[in-house]
Amino acid sequence: MTLAAATNEHLASVSNTLIYSSMAVYTLAFFAYIAEWLFGSRSKVARTAAALTEQAGTARKAPAVTVQQAGGTAVLERPKVVVRAASGQRDVPDGPGAHGGDVQGDLYGRIAVSLTALAFLVELAGVATRAASVQRAPWGNMYEFNITFSTVAVAVYLALLALRKNVRWLGLFLITTVLLDLGLAVTVLYTASDQLVPALHSYWLYIHVSTAIFCGAVFYVGAVATILYLFKDSYENKLQTGGEPGAFATSVLERLPASASLDKFAYRVNAAVFPLWTFTIIAGAIWAGDAWGRYWNWDPKETWSFITWVAYAGYLHARATAGWKGRKAAYLAMIAFGCWLFNYYGVNIFVSGKHSYAGV
């Protein structure tokens, strides 16, 4: 049987149509998220500034310390106190969200989430028909990896919403990068539907690659939260030192959760998926032993997977250490995600090795 005969070109064409259709719906969701930010109330987004002002006022108005001395009473001024949460960040409330506590903004946000869910289902159908066109897992090249990765990333976001987690603030940033990811997939990375190279014919494809995709999607959500944390932390720092951020920064950043909440969220999602990333590397080593006769060959893909593991292990260790909370740990998290991105794109596209299955 030839490769061409083993490929259902009709289903492959349907898959392409569904992927383009999902991009159209994601675009509508993108504009709905924009509307949520634009039309949400701006009159309810001064919580961070108010909290920091109140903290400063409390510190200034703190009662004096009275010390009894022989022959009289000495009155000492209490030193200025900077209030911080247990995680090392300012103890300020979360913002009201992109909708700004406004009914109209909330309506646009709900529409955006509904469109996101619809686009996810359409994209999932595109991934499924791509798999059906060749009767295998749709992870044989970078195009298929990209469309599956973005599908899983959106699934993680929707799952968090379904669990009643307050993460709708992720929506705009997530959908923006999902559109970029799919745009890259259908242009630069597109590969016609075809059969696998012999080395990939293994049940380990379903185990190893699926866990790698899921881990990457969760790491990505953690990276978005970390980037937002860095912006929000700078914003709170500026307010606390008496600075005046611009109107745009105030309108956007005031609506996000407090920096402490963003920091905690990023840490939790990265910590939750790290054991699965460990399993991914172990599963890959077992597959390598079956396919190439050696469990570890120091192939570029193996090496960068291990580097990524070390980077995230360092981040988690540093984050759990008192001296490495906040921005220092956040920088480590971004370095770790940068390693994952290079392992995802750079190694597959620019580096030759046993894992050179990008198809581009």
Whether 293 and 158 share a structural domain: no
Q: Determine, yes or no, domain membership for 211.
A: yes
Q: What is the DSSP string of 67-110?
A: EEETTEEEEEPPPP---B-TTSSB--PPP-TTTTT-HHHHHHHH
**pLDDT tens digits for 2-53?**
444 467 888 989 999 999 999 999 999 999 999 999 988 776 665 555 555 5
pLDDT tens across the length of the chain (360 residues): 344 446 788 898 999 999 999 999 999 999 999 999 998 877 666 555 555 555 544 444 444 434 444 454 433 333 333 334 444 456 788 888 888 888 888 999 999 999 999 999 999 999 999 999 888 888 878 898 899 999 999 999 999 999 877 899 999 999 999 999 999 999 988 888 766 666 666 777 888 889 999 999 999 999 999 999 999 999 998 888 887 877 777 888 888 999 999 999 999 999 999 999 999 999 988 888 877 777 777 888 888 999 999 999 999 988 887 667 788 899 999 999 999 999 888 887 776 655 555 455
Q: What's the CA angle centered on 262, arms 98 and 210, to 5 degrees? A: 95
Whether 258 and 160 share a structural domain: no
Whether 127 and 206 share a structural domain: no
Q: Determine, yes or no, domain membership for 68.
A: no
Q: How do the residues of the chain divide into helix, strand and coil, expressed in percent and rounded to 5?
A: 70, 5, 30
Q: Determine, yes or no, domain membership for 77.
A: no
**The one-letter amino acid at 146:** N
Q: What's the CA angle centered on 106, arms 105 and 108, to 5 degrees? A: 65
Whether 187 and 229 share a structural domain: no
| Global pTM value | 0.82
Q: What's the CA angle centered on 265, arms 95 and 239, to 5 degrees? A: 40
| Distance between CA atoms of residues 144 and 141, nearest Å | 6
- Residue 266: which domain range? 202-360
Whether 125 and 186 share a structural domain: yes
Q: Which one, of 159, 218, 170, 222, lies nearest residue 33 by Cα?
A: 170
Based on the structure, what is the number of domains in the chain? Answer: 2
**pLDDT tens digits for 95-125?**
888 888 888 889 999 999 999 999 999 999 9
Q: Determine, yes or no, domain membership for 152.
A: yes
Whether 164 and 229 share a structural domain: no
Q: Which one, of 258, 266, 212, 216, lies nearest residue 237 by Cα?
A: 258
Whether 160 and 226 share a structural domain: no
Whether 286 and 334 share a structural domain: yes
Instruction: Find where tokens 């580097």 sit.
Output: 307
